[in-house]
Amino acid sequence: MKIAFIGLGVMGAPMSRHLVKAGHDVAGYDVHPPAVEAFAADGGLAAASVREAVDGADVVMTMLPNHPQVEDVVLGDHGVLDSAGTGTLLIDLSTIRPETSATIAAKAAGQGFGALDAPVSGGQTGARQASLSIMVGGDENDFAAARPLLETLGTPRHVGGPGAGQVVKAANQLVVAGIYALVSEAVVLLEGSNLNPATGLDVLAGGLAGNRILDLKRESMLAREFTPGFRIDLHHKDMAIVLDAARRADVALPVTGLVAQLVAAGRAMGYGSLDHSALLHVTEALSGR
């Protein structure tokens, strides 16, 4: 297949390479030229613009930071809808607000394009290992067409109509941030009680409190190793999506509201470019540690 992949950052870089390795003809574009050069060095085709990347593409994939970038790339002048051929399938892998995905799907359908929202979970490790959990919103026939490609990147699941993938991803992000906040509190309690935190967290990981964040991140958190991974700035963006989705659904999420403020504090304290496990710094600061 001829694929355009736009956004070759932390996640897009390994994902686009999996598609190349699977034998597809992949044209990559990013506003950051070194990302495009690195992609070409790994066997991809370098594109100098969105228009050039999507020329003749069967499928266009986007993996961009947030909705303004997705709107710009998809709906903007010389964007995907302007430049790709009718019948092209757009798969947006970015985490953005559900209403933007729904708007894009409606505009795309009006112009004869298919469009799916397909945000992912599993982080940089999941992207590298092609083991992402992929939540897909949109038309079922479009999902069936996209499925083999998405299976190159992880495990896709159709969860509903346009925007539904983003709502499931919002639920995922509130759980992840909440667990980071609680693991941070466990660390502060153990260290504040002069206990060995590594031993304590090992015990937690083996019992009912066990979870994947404890499995994957407890060592790096105890070592205060916060190289991203998933930046606090991006999780702050996601918590706004979660709270907005809750408002639209007319539901109250009180714990999420509190956790969103802790993530906001991390950003305000200057940790925005650190991994989201650096929420530990915020919890420590609350105890003067």
Q: Which residues pair with 137 in a beta bridge?
A: 117, 160
Tokens 């916060």 locate to 226
In contact, 132 and 121? CB cutoff 8 Å = yes
Binding segment for ligand NAD among 69-77, 191-199, 214-222, 242-250 (CB under 6 A)? 69-77
Query: What single letter denotes the amino acid at residue 92?
Result: D
List helix spans (H) across 29-163: 33-41, 50-54, 67-75, 80-83, 98-110, 123-129, 140-151
Q: Is 64 in the site for ligand NAD (CB under 6 A)?
A: yes
Q: Is 273 in the site for ligand NAD (CB under 6 A)?
A: no
Q: Is 73 in the site for ligand NAD (CB under 6 A)?
A: yes
Binding mask 123-162 for ligand NAD (x = CB under 6 A): xx--------------------------------------
Q: Is 74 in the site for ligand NAD (CB under 6 A)?
A: no
Q: Is 229 in the site for ligand NAD (CB under 6 A)?
A: yes
Whole-number Å distance between alpha carbons of 75 and 116: 15
Q: Is 230 in the site for ligand NAD (CB under 6 A)?
A: yes
- Comparing C-alpha atoms, which of 202, 228, 230 is closest to residue 214? 202
| CB nearer ligand NAD, residue 33 or residue 43 | 33
Both tokens assigned to 94: 């970015």
Cα 232–Cα 238–Cα 243 angle in degrees, nearest 5: 125
* Residue facing ligand NAD at closest CB distance: 9
Q: Is 14 in the site for ligand NAD (CB under 6 A)?
A: no
| CB nearer ligand NAD, residue 12 or residue 197 | 12
Whole-number Å distance between alpha carbons of 223 and 30: 33
To the nearest whole angstrom, how small is the minimum distance from the Cβ of residue 12 to ligand NAD? 5
169 is catalytic: yes
Binding segment for ligand NAD among 31-39, 79-87, 177-185, 214-222 (CB under 6 A)? 31-39
Q: In the Cβ-directed half-sphere of 54, how many Cα atoms lie within 13 Å?
A: 27
Q: Is 94 in the site for ligand NAD (CB under 6 A)?
A: yes
In contact, 53 and 82? CB cutoff 8 Å = no
Both tokens assigned to 131: 């083991």
Tokens 């991006």 locate to 234
Q: Is 172 in the site for ligand NAD (CB under 6 A)?
A: no
- Cα distances (Å, whole numbers) of residue 22 to 3, 35, 153: 12, 20, 10
Single residue of 25, 58, 71, 72 touching ligand NAD by CB under 6 A: 72
Q: Is 220 in the site for ligand NAD (CB under 6 A)?
A: no
Hey, which residues are catalytic here?
169
Binding site for ligand NAD (CB under 6 A): 6-12, 29-32, 35, 63-65, 69, 72-73, 94-95, 120-121, 123-124, 229-230, 234
